[in-house]
């Protein structure tokens, strides 16, 4: 193992988890490797085939990614190839079948559609491992579900004696379980690393869409570009990409564009200029994604809230790979959070829709958070974090206004409790604000003693409070299909039980930007 590492990769030491995983693979044990981007996962499937002198199969979602990897491996003297729609050499498959490659990349479509005789022949020549890269694509709970990945389990029967290796940088407990069961892994060795990227500073800001904001953003970015390093700006739509890059160009900032509606050729050109530092700023949709391996990206800006924290973490994690302090900044507007039903548009099952809704709600919560953002992110990915303050996110360094909001908390909780049913936050807030909308009159909520008692604050104020109460555990939000329901949690019930309309135990909360009315 050590000599392979030195000979082909030029490294003298394995990272501790790499050694463990490689040993387990060589013992033919199934493995699940969950590690942050940049932690060196690829080595886990690249080394065993070279040690065992058998072919390693790697399923990977993108042809461009496979092409890059094949090229890099060939340069190291490793016999690597890929089979996929873009492969023009007809002899690759025959060569592969007779075991002439150390590492063979396949798209999931190809892996499922290639003939069984191919696998049987290759088995005779020797297969060292069957690796599934970006394995979260297999899970409907993941942020990047791909139907073809789901079909890979068919191969388990054919390759019964070959260790299966799933690799991903993003996996919550649910996704992890899904990968294991979908690949029919048997007693897998699971290696989970810390996701903490200590050099990244997390900051979130609300914004009002419009020319003025774009102007401010451009000023901000120009300053950053002047101080060195590269920037990626992720937009949620192609229209935004075009608008922001135009504004940057007008302000004299060399910015490239990258989105799905551009031709392959111009996308590649953009990518190339960015990697070579001829463009310091890339304005892109999430299409600018996997396979970006630039070490000195100093900031990743999200213009609009992403669909999930999994994708946010992956996208924002593209900055600071060299370990130098870098910034992940997210700008959101309220309307970003109402797109859930829209995102669910074409989804077939209630389970898929619920997954999309829950992902978006988690992202919304991250935006509206008043406590440490790093802790929230890491806990979302299943890590235990003992410290409440990381000292390297906006909420940990900005001095905050705190106030006893117990009276308002009492009103909101009591109102949610008294209009019990399947409502989100809007209904109780409308009641508190004294609305006489038809749905309120129909349900006779105008007769509730609380009706109109919260007129002093606008609905966004109440929403901001509601979200703090969710994140502090006084309220519980659940999702069924695309419907969000808020209810009072046991902790909230305890508060209500010890309160009267005239007295409530103090609850000190943060007055967020949206609550400064």
Question: Of the candidates 165, 105, 119, which has an alpha carbon nearest to the alpha carbon of residue 138?
Answer: 165
User: Nearest distance from residue 87's CB to ligand ADP, in Å?
Assistant: 23
Torsion sign over Cα 138, 193, 76, 7: negative
489 binds, among Zn ion, ligand ADP, none (CB under 5 to 8 A by kind): none
Find out whether 416 and 487 touch, Cβ atoms under 8 Å: yes
What's the length of the chain?
517
Position 355 contacts Zn ion (CB under 5 A): no
Torsion sign over Cα 439, 443, 448, 450: negative
Find out whether 197 and 297 touch, Cβ atoms under 8 Å: no
Question: Of the candidates 214, 275, 219, 206, which has an alpha carbon nearest to the alpha carbon of residue 246?
Answer: 214
328 binds, among ligand ADP, Zn ion, none (CB under 5 to 8 A by kind): none
Beta strands in 322-375 (DSSP E): 326-332
Q: Going residue by residue from 392 to 431, which x/- string records binding to Zn ion, judged by CB under 5 A? A: -x--x-----------------------------------
Residue 289, helix vs strand vs coil: coil
Position 390 contacts Zn ion (CB under 5 A): yes
Nearer of residues 224 and 374 to Zn ion, judged by Cβ: 374
Nearer of residues 271 and 375 to Zn ion, judged by Cβ: 375
Contacts of 32 (CB under 8 A, 6+ apart): 135, 165, 166, 167, 176, 179, 180, 185, 188, 189, 190, 191
Stretch that binds Zn ion, among 41-49, 80-88, 386-394, 464-472 (CB under 5 A): 386-394
What residues line the site for ligand ADP (CB under 6 A)?
11, 13-15, 18, 35, 37-43
393 binds, among Zn ion, ligand ADP, none (CB under 5 to 8 A by kind): Zn ion
Contacts of 117 (CB under 8 A, 6+ apart): none
What is the size of the binding site for Zn ion (CB under 5 A)? 5
User: Nearest distance from residue 468's CB to ligand ADP, in Å?
Assistant: 35
In angstroms, the CA 442 to CA 201 distance is 49
Position 372 contacts Zn ion (CB under 5 A): yes
User: Nearest distance from residue 20's CB to Zn ion, in Å?
Assistant: 31
Stretch that binds Zn ion, among 10-18, 308-316, 391-399, 444-452 (CB under 5 A): 391-399
Whole-angstrom CA distances from 287 to 144, 282, 284, 292 are 12, 12, 7, 11
Site for Zn ion in 300-319 (CB under 5 A): none
User: Nearest distance from residue 36's CB to Zn ion, in Å?
Assistant: 18
User: Nearest distance from residue 103's CB to ligand ADP, in Å?
Assistant: 13
Q: Which of 271, 374, 451, 457 binds Zn ion (CB under 5 A)?
A: 374
Q: Which residues bind Zn ion (CB under 5 A)?
A: 372, 374, 390, 393, 396
């Amino acid at each position: 193992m050590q000599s392979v590492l030195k000979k082909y990769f030029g490294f003298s030491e394995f990272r501790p988890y790499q050694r463990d995983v490689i040993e387990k693979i060589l013992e033919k044990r199934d493995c699940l490797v969950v590690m942050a981007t940049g932690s060196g996962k690829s080595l886990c499937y690249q080394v065993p085939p070279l040690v065992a002198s058998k072919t390693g199969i790697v399923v990977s979602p993108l042809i461009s990614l496979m092409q890059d990897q094949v090229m890099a491996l060939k340069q190291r003297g490793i016999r690597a190839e890929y089979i996929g729609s873009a492969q023009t050499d007809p002899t690759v498959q025959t060569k592969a079948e007779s075991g002439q490659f150390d590492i063979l990349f396949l798209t999931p479509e190809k892996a499922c559609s290639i003939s069984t005789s191919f696998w049987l022949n290759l088995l005779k020549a020797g297969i060292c491992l069957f690796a599934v890269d970006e394995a979260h694509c297999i899970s409907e709970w993941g942020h990047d579900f791909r139907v073809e990945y789901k079909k890979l389990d068919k191969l388990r029967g054919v390759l019964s004696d070959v260790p299966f290796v799933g690799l991903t940088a993003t996996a919550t407990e649910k996704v992890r379980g899904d990968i294991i069961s979908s690949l029919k892994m048997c007693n897998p060795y699971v290696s989970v690393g810390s996701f903490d990227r200590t050099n990244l500073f997390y900051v979130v800001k609300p914004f009002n869409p419009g020319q003025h904001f774009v102007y401010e953003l451009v000023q901000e970015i120009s300053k950053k570009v002047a101080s060195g390093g590269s920037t990626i700006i992720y937009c949620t739509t192609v229209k935004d990409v075009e608008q922001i890059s135009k504004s940057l160009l007008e302000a004299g900032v060399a910015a490239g564009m990258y989105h799905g509606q551009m031709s392959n050729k111009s996308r590649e050109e953009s990518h190339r200029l960015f990697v070579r530092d001829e463009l310091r700023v890339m304005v892109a949709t999430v299409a600018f994604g996997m396979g970006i391996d630039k070490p000195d990206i100093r900031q990743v800006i999200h213009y609009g809230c992403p669909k999930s924290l999994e994708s946010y973490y992956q996208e924002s994690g593209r900055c600071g790979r060299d370990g130098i302090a870098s910034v992940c900044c997210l700008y959101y507007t309220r309307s970003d959070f109402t797109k859930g039903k829209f995102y669910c548009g074409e989804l077939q099952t209630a389970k898929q829709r619920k997954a999309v809704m829950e992902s978006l709600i988690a992202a919304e919560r991250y935006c509206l958070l008043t406590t440490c953002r790093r802790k929230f992110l890491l806990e979302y990915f299943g890590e235990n974090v003992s410290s409440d303050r990381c000292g390297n996110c906006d909420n940990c360094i900005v001095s905050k206004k705190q106030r006893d909001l117990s009276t308002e908390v009492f009103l909101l909780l009591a109102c949610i409790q008294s209009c019990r049913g399947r409502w989100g936050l809007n209904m109780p807030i409308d009641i508190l604000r004294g609305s006489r909308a038809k749905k309120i009159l129909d349900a006779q909520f105008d007769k509730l003693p609380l009706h109109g008692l919260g007129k002093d604050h606008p609905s966004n104020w109440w929403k901001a409070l509601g979200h703090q109460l969710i994140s502090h555990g006084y309220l519980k939000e659940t999702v069924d299909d695309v419907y969000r329901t808020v209810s009072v949690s046991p902790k909230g019930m305890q508060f209500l039980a010890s309160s009267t309309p005239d007295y409530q135990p103090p609850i000190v909360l943060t007055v967020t930007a949206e609550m400064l009315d």
